[in-house]
């Protein structure tokens, strides 16, 4: 079983790095210093790729390996082996990762005439944000490259089911977080955008993004909602509800202003006759003051009449 997994690993890594990987038994010296817990849970091999030595460890029983154990075992391995280590917990996925990477390079190379291999090297070396997309494509095997080609620290990709082909998520992705169940093909996003969960710690309450979705700068898409295919979301929008296909969304909260390329008829907002609480308070005070003034005038008139009657009765006496 391990021989098959070694072959699958070799083919898989070759598919996205276009380089051969040599896998062989670890030396006796390393075997002796490995902790017993590592020897009992993993078959460890030494590998070389692009001139870099790494350690590949295949789990003997995947059911007994938990995420917390994996992190602990990785630290133990790197302390004892002294080089990058990868724990292989499952068979290599069947989807064609190379096709997705090629589609990314083709999309970005529209501005530059480079071959796929030279284009991949160019974007990895000189365009740091692309590394984040590339590493999200290759999953745990990103450790083969990321230790010397560091990812862009202000751009986070945590898409559970991956991002579709022809993704161009590099329109200045400063301060951008992509945390979604799935993002479709032909996806574009600009800076300061957040796609994420509705409640802290609830990673099940995250959006699903369809195909051909374009997102402007400073956009927030929050909660367990679906953004349909062929949707454009304008800069500064906050989207908290479902968006059907073929729509344009703007505003806070986001509202649909165009559907199937037709503007939606709506009442224009009255930007002049807006509520003014201060003016309303002044109006109430003026009314109360007017009533009080009228009452004082009535009392003065009544007082004059009373005085006149008193004077008349005195003169009669």
Instruction: Please list the residues that pair with 182 across neighbouring strands.
Output: 208
pLDDT of residue 148 exceeding 50: yes
Q: Give the pLDDT confidence of 39-84 residue by residue, as tens digits.
A: 888 888 888 776 778 888 887 776 666 656 777 787 888 888 777 7
Q: Give the pLDDT confidence of 253-274 residue by residue, as tens digits.
A: 888 888 888 887 664 444 456 6
- How many CA atoms, within 13 angstroms, populate the side-chain half-sphere of residue 51? 1
- By the 8 A CB rule, do 194 and 177 touch? yes
Q: How many angstroms from the chain centroid is the CA of residue 102?
A: 23
Tell me if residue 8 falls in helix, strand or coil: helix
* Superfamily for domain range 97-263: Hexapeptide repeat proteins (2.160.10.10)
Where in the chain are the domains?
Answer: 2-88, 97-263
The structure's pTM equals 0.54
Q: Give the pLDDT confidence of 277-314 residue by residue, as tens digits.
A: 788 889 889 999 999 999 999 998 888 888 888 888 77
SS (HEC) of 90-151: CCCCCCCHHHHHHHHHHHHHHHCCCCHHHHHHHHHHHCHHHHHHHHHHHHHHHHHHHCCCCC
Cα–Cα distance measured from residue 61 to residue 45, given in angstroms and rounded to the nearest whole number? 17
- Tell me the backbone φ, ψ of residue 31, rounded to 5 degrees: -60, -35
């Amino acid at each position: 079983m391990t021989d098959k997994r070694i072959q699958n690993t070799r083919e898989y890594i070759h598919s996205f790095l276009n380089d051969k990987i040599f896998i062989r038994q670890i030396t006796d010296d390393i075997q002796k210093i490995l902790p017993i817990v590592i020897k009992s849970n993993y078959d460890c091999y030494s590998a070389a790729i692009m001139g870099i030595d790494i350690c590949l460890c295949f789990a003997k029983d995947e059911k007994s390996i938990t995420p917390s154990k994996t992190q602990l075992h990785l630290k133990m391995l790197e302390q004892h082996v002294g080089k990058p280590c990868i724990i292989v917990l499952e068979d290599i996925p069947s989807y064609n990762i190379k096709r997705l990477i090629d589609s990314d390079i083709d999309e970005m190379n529209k501005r530059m005439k480079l071959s796929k291999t030279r284009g991949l090297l160019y974007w990895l070396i000189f365009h740091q944000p692309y590394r984040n997309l590339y590493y999200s494509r290759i999953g745990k095997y990103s450790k083969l490259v990321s230790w010397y080609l560091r990812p862009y620290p202000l751009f986070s990709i945590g898409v559970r089911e991956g991002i579709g082909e022809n993704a161009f998520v590099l329109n200045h992705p400063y301060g951008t977080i992509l945390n979604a169940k799935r993002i479709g093909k032909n996806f574009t996003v600009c800076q300061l955008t957040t796609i994420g969960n509705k409640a802290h710690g609830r990673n099940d309450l995250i959006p699903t993004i369809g195909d051909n979705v374009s997102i402007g700068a400073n956009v927030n898409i929050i909660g367990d909602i679906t953004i349909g295919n062929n949707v454009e979301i304008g800069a500064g929008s906050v989207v908290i509800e479902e968006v059907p296909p073929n729509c344009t969304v703007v505003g806070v909260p986001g509202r649909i202003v165009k559907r199937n390329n037709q503007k939606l008829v709506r009442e224009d907002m009255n930007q002049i006759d807006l509520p003014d609480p201060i003016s309303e308070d002044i109006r109430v005070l003026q009314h109360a003051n007017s009533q009080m003034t009228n009452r004082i005038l009535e009392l003065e008139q009544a007082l004059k009449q009373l005085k006149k009657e008193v004077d008349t009765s005195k003169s009669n006496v």
